[in-house]
Amino acid sequence: MVFRKLPGVSASGMGLRLSQKFVFLLFLSGLVTLCFGALFFLPDSVRLKRIFLSKTENDVKEHLKRPVKEQEHSRAMVSAKADRLKSVNRKPAVTQAVEATEERLVGGKAQEELTVSRSESASVRSVDTFTYNKFKSCLIKNPLGSDSGKAADPKTNERREKVKEMMKFSWDNYKRYAWGKNELRPLTKNGHIGNMFGKCGLRGASIIDSLDTLYIMGLMDEYNDAKEWVQTSLDLNSNGEASLFEVNIRYVGGLLSAYYLTGEELFKNKVLELGEKLLPAFNTPTGIPRGVINLGSGTSWSWGWASAGSSILAEFGTLHLEFVHLTELSNSPIYTEKVMNIRKLLNKIEKPHGLYPNFLSPVSGNWVQHHVSIGGLGDSFYEYLIKSYLMSDKKDEDAKKMYYGALEAIEANLVQKSPGGLTYMAEWRGGILDHKMGHLACFSGGMIGIGADDGAPEKRQHYLDLAAEITHTCHESYTPTKLGPEAFRFDGGAEATATRLSDRYYILRPEVIESYMYMWRLTHDPKYREWGWEAVEALEQHCKVESGFSGIRDVYTTMVSHDNMQQSFFLSETLKYLYLLFSDDDLLSLEDWVFNTEAHPLPIIRKNCLQDQGSPQDNTASE
Ligand code: DMJ
């Protein structure tokens, strides 16, 4: 049989002309696209969607698989959010387009690889819903101690009363002149809003930051006013832009502590509502959150000043404690997943000399610059490693390993001894040391102190000594007003002295006093209480003005010039650490509590006890 050659059909291949082949291919590719696209519309193609959809969408779905009550709340949130998304988008369109392209180029793969797997996340899910009474029964001590932590000797007790009086004075003036604003301007007697907590967003930072301090000091009328403000006026539905870090440490931390101390459901409801609003900041290719978030629209972006759109180590590394507690209270694993994902990435990437640089790209997941600092930009990342370990009832081995690894690298590369014999932490810029220490870095005395006991046995005494030496150096920087500069140097003959005019200010920061408090609890060396008292007197002498406390512009002159700002961390941290320094150790015992970086106490999570179904026998805490 002879096949006849059809007109228009070539003799090559299947006998199709080039143009026909092209049409056929076009048809075929159309068909493939159609089938692929259908996957996204078919009902319940969950497995396939999990493969093809980005992690973010999966997260939202998982998140919504929660108890009905929570889902109702979520639905309201989602629809409110959708409405707001339509109307609000404050981010410049160009930035968004560039970022969207960057993210597509890098792809969702990075995040898929780095995100905690479902089986891992199952292990972070609470067995049952959080119950406050059960939590209380798992504490070793009464949070307020016996006799509210009142010290036995009259002199210490007098000093404690003085600190309480300072708190009342700061609070009363804030209430009188700045109620509902973020901070008090004590000279001009008005309120300050600032943009750290939201340009047109969150308010009342001093109120949230003060709740726990007022409560532990027994200033109950003031605490009740603060609580009432949270009830009636804390508006979480604003469209303001805010620092994820600041909102987390002050508002999330403050509300969590208030809840754990008082058991008031109001605080729990508020903090869970706020926590949910922070989640969109993590929607980046790596899951590393960006620094700024619009709480209304959920849009997030990096700080304009941060190197090449990067995220800051001390910001994305200072979420762990609060987010683990959000999971604890909400019974939703999503918060823990978000912070575990950050940790996973940090573990995976290479670290120069074992150090963690301060800037990381949330798009590529790579370091952007090799600047390492235990002060600003780096500080509380290290703090949260050791505190994560302690807060997990010493179960979080990963955090422990990271902390001691980082500390070893810090000792090998950053810790220095000055010609005058002072131990300090220099900053590291790509291998070159900058012999400067910031006031912020002075928290590290306390940090190294609380971590000393869990280090390798042969290192424990060494860590305690190092903690004491750093604290001593920071005390040395407090002169002659007995208040310390923002940064001090150890070069050109300087010994813990600010050599630049621009470093001479003191803004009521707590870090040095924070280290005194921890070192007192760890050693009971009376010098720490004496140093704390020096600070109280200096605050009274130089920072107290008619209507509150103010920072000063130059710690080297007793003819002080005030900066007209009563920072909210003065009420939350500086005064709280002073009060604890002059109290018995059982007030917010370190056996039960870790302090977040804004000094808000968060309880150690004793899983064994919390999940124990039996009724508690030995309820020392609630006595
Ligand atoms: C506080 O808000 C926190 O301690 C933060 O970690 C660093 N800076 C201020 C106080 O100085």
563, 569, 576: which to mutate for ligand 1, most atoms within 8 A of CB? 569
243 lines ligand 1 (CB under 6 A): no
598 lines ligand 1 (CB under 6 A): yes
Statement: residue 92 has pLDDT above 60: no
The token duo for 497 is: 């002295």
568 lines ligand 1 (CB under 6 A): no
Statement: residue 4 has pLDDT above 70: no
pLDDT bracket for residue 22 (50, 70, 90): low
Active site residue 591: no
Distances (CA, A) of 277 to 239, 252, 299: 11, 11, 10
pLDDT bracket for residue 18 (50, 70, 90): low
Q: Where is average pLDDT lowest: 39-43, 349-353, 425-429, 618-622?
A: 39-43
- Determine the pLDDT at residue 194: 78
- Determine the pLDDT at residue 97: 30
Average pLDDT value for residue range 440-450:
98
Mean pLDDT across the chain, nearest whole number? 84
Statement: residue 235 has pLDDT above 90: yes
pLDDT bracket for residue 237 (50, 70, 90): confident
Statement: residue 595 has pLDDT above 60: yes
Closest ligand 1 atom number to CA of residue 568:
2
569 lines ligand 1 (CB under 6 A): yes
The closest residue, in CA terms, to atom 10 on ligand 1 is: 509
Statement: residue 172 has pLDDT above 60: yes
Spacing, Cα 511 to ligand 1 middle (Å): 8
- Determine the pLDDT at residue 34: 52
Average pLDDT value for residue range 606-620:
70
Q: What percent of the chain has pLDDT over 70?
A: 77
Closest ligand 1 atom number to CA of residue 514:
4
Residues near 68 by beta carbon (within 8 Å), at least 6 away in sequence: none
Spacing, Cα 590 to ligand 1 middle (Å): 20
Q: Which residue has the higher pLDDT, 102 or 558?
A: 558
Helix (H) or strand (E) holding 454: none
312, 380, 383: which to mutate for ligand 1, most atoms within 8 A of CB? 380
Statement: residue 563 has pLDDT above 70: yes
Q: What is the pLDDT of residues 240-272, one digit of tens each?
A: 889 999 999 999 999 999 999 999 999 999 999
Q: What percent of the chain has pLDDT over 90?
A: 73
Spacing, Cα 116 to ligand 1 middle (Å): 29
549 lines ligand 1 (CB under 6 A): no
Active site residue 222: no
Spacing, Cα 599 to ligand 1 middle (Å): 9
Of 242, 345, 240, 348, the residue nearest 288 (C-alpha): 345
- Determine the pLDDT at residue 28: 67
Got the DSSP string for 316-356? HTS-HHHHHHHHHHH--THHHHHHHHHHHHHHHS--GGG--
Q: Where is average pLDDT lowest: 114-118, 514-518, 575-579?
A: 114-118
- Determine the pLDDT at residue 613: 74
Spacing, Cα 336 to ligand 1 middle (Å): 23
383 lines ligand 1 (CB under 6 A): no
- Determine the pLDDT at residue 128: 54
- Determine the pLDDT at residue 240: 81
380 lines ligand 1 (CB under 6 A): yes
The closest residue, in CA terms, to atom 3 on ligand 1 is: 598
Select which of 379, 396, 592, 598 is catalytic: 379
Statement: residue 497 has pLDDT above 70: yes
174 lines ligand 1 (CB under 6 A): no
- Determine the pLDDT at residue 199: 56
Select which of 246, 276, 396, 503 is catalytic: 246
Statement: residue 16 has pLDDT above 70: no
Statement: residue 109 has pLDDT above 70: no
Statement: residue 429 has pLDDT above 80: yes
Spacing, Cα 569 to ligand 1 middle (Å): 7
- Determine the pLDDT at residue 121: 38
Q: What is the pLDDT of residues 127-141, one digit of tens each?
A: 458 999 999 999 999
Active site residue 246: yes
Average pLDDT value for residue range 47-74:
34
The closest residue, in CA terms, to atom 8 on ligand 1 is: 440
Average pLDDT value for residue range 52-71:
35
Spacing, Cα 209 to ligand 1 middle (Å): 12
Q: What is the pLDDT of residues 145-154, one digit of tens each?
A: 999 999 999 9
Question: Do 524 and 452 meet the contact criterion of CB atoms below 8 Å apart?
Answer: no
Q: State the Cα torsion 64-65-67-72 to the nearest 10°.
A: 30
Query: What's the gap between Cα 245 and its chain centre?
Result: 5
Distances (CA, A) of 255 to 66, 216, 242, 434: 22, 14, 17, 38
Average pLDDT value for residue range 269-297:
96
Statement: residue 532 has pLDDT above 70: yes
Select which of 59, 315, 511, 598 is catalytic: 511
| Backbone angle region of 180, left / alpha / beta, with phi > 0 → left and psi within -120 to 50 → alpha | left
Statement: residue 317 has pLDDT above 60: yes
Residue written as tokens 């005064």? 575
Closest ligand 1 atom number to CA of residue 443:
4
Active site residue 397: no
509 lines ligand 1 (CB under 6 A): yes
Q: What is the pLDDT of residues 211-230, one digit of tens each?
A: 999 999 999 999 999 999 99
95 marked ligand binding residue: no
Spacing, Cα 546 to ligand 1 middle (Å): 25
